[in-house]
Amino acid sequence: MGKLNFYQIINKPDQLKKYENFDVFYKTKQGYCLYKKHDQSFTEARLQLGLHPDELFITFNDRVSIIRNKQHKLNNDIKKSIKVDVDKARESISELITVTLSEPRSEILKEIKNTINIIVKEFLEDPEVVIQLTKVSLHDYSTTLHLTNCMLFCIGYGYYSDFNEFDIKTLGLMGLLHDVGKIEIPDYILQSDRRLSDEEFEIIKQHPIKSKSILSNSNFDKKVILSAYEHHERLDGSGYPKGKKSNEINEWSKIMSIIDIFEALTNWRPYKQAMPTLEALKILKKEVTDSKIDKTYFEKFARSLIGMKKV
Ligand SMILES: [Fe+2]
């Protein structure tokens, strides 16, 4: 089968129905062989009796097109529900991010731009509608939720700091993609409700590097890639992964770091309660005093929260 890449599918009757219209393959010692063509169906008898090979595959190109179709559908759902059913819109955004992160390759990541376009367009027409999206349910922590919230805070930051539409979209993308590398960190570390060991923390500290390498293969704005790489750096050089100092850190990364800290403080995590907004702002203010984060961006962010009625 030449240079085709393959992706193993779940070999259960209810799952296989999804692949009715695709070529399906099985593996032999010699390589991958066609099991059924895209215009053939899995026969009921085969499905029920399990008379098919244990391991079935589709081509990687088909996997990408399945994900892209799903992304299109979810973006349409977001467009339709954002004005009329905030909960549904939020659910669709989460699902879209989850689907996107299941295969973060450039052709799949680029669909996220459409999501941002939909949300920013709505925000510019009626901020109130999108502000409703930031109402989060407690005890529901995931990287997806963190990314959704950060995206909304980033859009709010741009809007209330008079950024132009293009820059607001770039900020939104930054928020949505800055932690994309976390998909390569094991869940038992990310979801841990105990203090992490030094070794585990070292593994977590790799995520900006992983984010950068995932995003570098895409054609996103450089600022989006840089903020994924630098959002844990601190002005005094105490951050990671490089320990960069203020003059070495991109300005947009400095904004991202403030929003990232705020989101982490104000939302529930397996190991801590959610903190009220004012208390979180006090902690951020201390970070300003300690020369960790930028004063001007902090003040602008606090002002945007007032605009977003989060204070
Ligand atoms: Fe991060």
Domain boundaries, the chain: 6-62, 129-307
Q: How far is the centre of ligand 1, averaged over its atoms, from the C-alpha of 146 (Å)? A: 10
Contacts of 220 (CB under 8 A, 6+ apart): 109, 173, 177
The predicted-structure confidence for 112-162, as pLDDT tens digits, reads as follows: 999 999 999 988 988 887 777 776 544 456 778 888 889 999 999 999 999
CA geometry: angle 288, 291, 294, nearest 5 deg: 55
With a cut of 50, say whether residue 1 has pLDDT above it: no
Q: List phi, psi (to 5°) of 7.
A: -130, 125
With a cut of 70, say whether residue 189 has pLDDT above it: yes
Model confidence, pTM: 0.87
Report, as an integer, the average pLDDT of 92-96: 91
Cα dihedral 216→217→222→228 (10° resolution): -40
Q: How far is the centre of ligand 1, averaged over its atoms, from the C-alpha of 17 (Å)? A: 38
For 129-307, CATH number out of 1.10.3210.10, 2.130.10.10, 2.40.50.460, 1.10.10.10 equals 1.10.3210.10
10 Å Cβ neighbour count for 39?
A: 8
Ion ligand 1, residues whose Cβ is below 5 A away: 179
With a cut of 50, say whether residue 55 has pLDDT above it: yes
pLDDT band at 47 (very low <50, low <70, confident <90, very high): low
Asked if 7 and 59 touch (Cβ cutoff 8 Å), the reply is yes
pLDDT band at 256 (very low <50, low <70, confident <90, very high): very high
**Greater pLDDT, 222 or 307:** 222
With a cut of 90, say whether residue 7 has pLDDT above it: yes
Per cent of the chain over pLDDT 70 is: 94
Q: How far is the centre of ligand 1, averaged over its atoms, from the C-alpha of 208 (Å)? A: 6
Q: How far is the centre of ligand 1, averaged over its atoms, from the C-alpha of 231 (Å)? A: 7
The predicted-structure confidence for 266-278, as pLDDT tens digits, reads as follows: 987 777 778 899 9
Q: How far is the centre of ligand 1, averaged over its atoms, from the C-alpha of 42 (Å)? A: 44
C-alpha separations of 75 from 34, 63, 209, 257, 289 in Å: 33, 18, 29, 28, 42
Contacts of 175 (CB under 8 A, 6+ apart): 147, 150, 151, 152, 153, 154, 155, 256, 259
With a cut of 60, say whether residue 207 has pLDDT above it: yes
pLDDT reported for residue 158: 95
Highest mean pLDDT among 135-144, 181-190, 220-229: 220-229
